[in-house]
Amino acid sequence: MSFLDKLFNKKNEQDQQDKQKQAEDTKIDKSVDNNIKNVKRTLNENFDVITRKVSLGGKSDQFVALAYLDGMVDKNVLNQSILRPIMLKPVDDMKFHDMGPGRYVREFMITANDVEEVDKFSDCINFILNGCTIVFIDGCEKALMCETRGWIQRSIDEPQNEAIAKGPHSGFNETLLTNVTLIRRYIKDPNLHFEPLTVGRASRTNVVVAFIDGISDNNIVEEVKRRLKGIDIDGVLDSSYIAEFISDSPLSPFATILSTERPDKVAANMLEGKVAIFVDGTPDVLMAPFLFMEFIQSPDDYYEDSMISSLVRILRMLALFTAVYLPGFYIAIVTFNQEMIPTTLTLSLMSGRFFVPFSPFAEILFMMILIEILREAGIHFPGTIGQTISIVGALVVGQSAVSAGLVSPFVVIVVSITTLASYSVPSYTASYMMRFLPYPVLIVSALLGIYGFAWCLIAMMVHLASLESFGVPYLAPIAPFNLRDNQDTVLRMPRWIMTYRPSYIKAENKKRMATKKKGK
């Protein structure tokens, strides 16, 4: 069995009620029959709870019992490494009596790769629920835990929401140990720590906090663990449950925790000193802290030339502001501040709206809601059908609306540019933020014109400046400004320039490479 699974059961940090229950836990019975009854009763006589009582090495006076969950164990390992040797291997009576039944079975009979003694019945139940096989032995107050996990898992595929042109194409899956192993492949440092927790009274979901000692900020690590331990909920089915509980500003439209399916992205963030949170049963890994400037950053940037990456980041920043503010700006100048528009363009706008019965605000609101409906339809339709519906639907409906005189051509252009700009930002975490924010900007601009638009812009900057992510200012390193840290924000400098890690991570090891000029 892996070190993670041992730690999950040894360091199970549940609420006070679970701790009290563990303190009152009974020991393992010396009778295998009683242990079988206790297992079945504890697990509610469920059909997938399998128990089997067999004789030890053909001895008629010595029995053992196996308990496991059908569907969660590898039956080949169970049969070949546990059941077959226990039943068929002859027993050396002298060694058996000298060593005792538990030690003898563990050292001379079971051939599984990981075997551990367990002395509490509650630990036996936890191991069974995690896919292990428990071996009870007559006359022994300790049981043996054997690693036999073998449930079906999804293969390692490329993340659909974070596809890139160059670089690794592997992504996390729903198995915790697989995800941890993917990080091990990138970071082969003995200072890499994986600290396990269990969250959820009923689901008892395994959660791992990962960081690199000496590189990560100890204050951030402790704060992450403190917030995780404070979660008291019956079940955690996805990492988003965790993110809502530990986020600094859960009501803000701006995410303060990154969610990603890319192992290379997690490894790169950990090497900067950030903390990763793995949740069993989900391919999304959480990273803390997460800052605003990371919305425009993509793993692609580090697999391309620094100059190209910098130009693309500038384009993404423009796309981000376009997606949020363009509809509101259009409404402000068309409705209240036509004097800001050149005369020729004003005439063109008026001619396009001459037969439209609705106000500009109603036009653009109608088209934005329609685009959102098409986008949702595209997401929930299967495969290529969804993409076809979202693209063709937008073109057909937009053209039909213009032909019917419901909206002006300029509104279709504005909404189309806004939608395309929202897709240009690589962060999936930012996608919902960019779908929500244009609406309040649009409404305020429709009420107050360019002044309302300006107030929205100022309010957004003030809100961003007020946010923090695990003690780190959300706008860092722009505000507070740090020249050295801005080597990898809007612009990405060449790697040989980025000698130091970000200063907002208070780490002991601040240098990521030796000071060495390019070509030297």
Is there a contact between 270 and 210 (Cβ–Cβ < 8 Å)? yes
Is there a contact between 24 and 16 (Cβ–Cβ < 8 Å)? no
- What sign results for the dihedral spanned by CA atoms 186, 190, 192, 196? positive
Is there a contact between 498 and 516 (Cβ–Cβ < 8 Å)? no
pLDDT for position 392? 63
- Look up residue 192 and give its amino acid: L
Angle at Cα 244 formed by Cα 287 and Cα 302, nearest 5°?
25
Is there a contact between 33 and 93 (Cβ–Cβ < 8 Å)? no
Euclidean distance between CA atoms 275 and 269, whole angstroms: 8
- Look up residue 267 and give its amino acid: A
**Comparing C-alpha atoms, which of 55, 481, 12 is closest to residue 229?**
12
Supply the Cα-derived Rg of the chain in whole angstroms.
Answer: 30
Is there a contact between 264 and 303 (Cβ–Cβ < 8 Å)? no
pLDDT for position 213? 92
**Comparing C-alpha atoms, which of 364, 440, 466, 469 is closest to residue 407?**
364
3-state secondary structure of 488: strand
Tell me the backbone φ, ψ of residue 77, rounded to 5 degrees.
-65, -45
Contacts of 365 by beta carbon, 8 Å cutoff, 6+ apart: 442
What Cα–Cα distance (Å) separates residue 298 from each residue in 52, 162, 195, 313, 464?
53, 9, 28, 9, 21
Give the distance from CA 434 to its chain's centroid. Answer: 20
Instruction: Scan for tokens 């802290």, then name that residue.
Output: 289
DSSP state, residue 35: H
Neighbour order of strands in the sheet with 115-118: 49-55, 63-69, 133-137, 143-146, 115-118
DSSP state, residue 151: -
Give domain limits for the chain.
20-146, 176-290, 304-472
pLDDT for position 19? 41
| Residue 93 tokens, joined | 């009576």
DSSP string covering 399-420 = HHHHHTTSS-HHHHHHHHHHHH
Is there a contact between 8 and 130 (Cβ–Cβ < 8 Å)? yes
**pLDDT digit of tens for each residue in the chain (520 aa)?**
554 555 555 555 444 445 434 434 567 888 999 999 999 999 888 888 999 999 988 777 889 999 999 888 888 889 999 999 998 888 888 888 888 888 889 988 998 888 999 988 988 998 998 889 999 999 888 999 999 888 777 788 888 778 787 888 889 998 888 899 999 999 998 999 999 999 988 888 999 999 999 899 999 999 999 999 999 999 999 999 999 999 998 888 898 999 999 999 999 999 999 999 999 989 999 999 999 999 888 888 888 888 999 999 999 999 999 999 999 999 999 888 788 888 787 777 777 777 788 888 988 998 888 888 877 777 766 655 555 566 666 667 777 777 777 888 888 889 888 888 888 888 777 777 888 899 999 999 999 999 999 999 999 999 999 999 999 999 999 988 888 888 888 889 988 888 888 888 888 888 887 765 555 4
- What sign results for the dihedral spanned by CA atoms 444, 450, 454, 460? positive
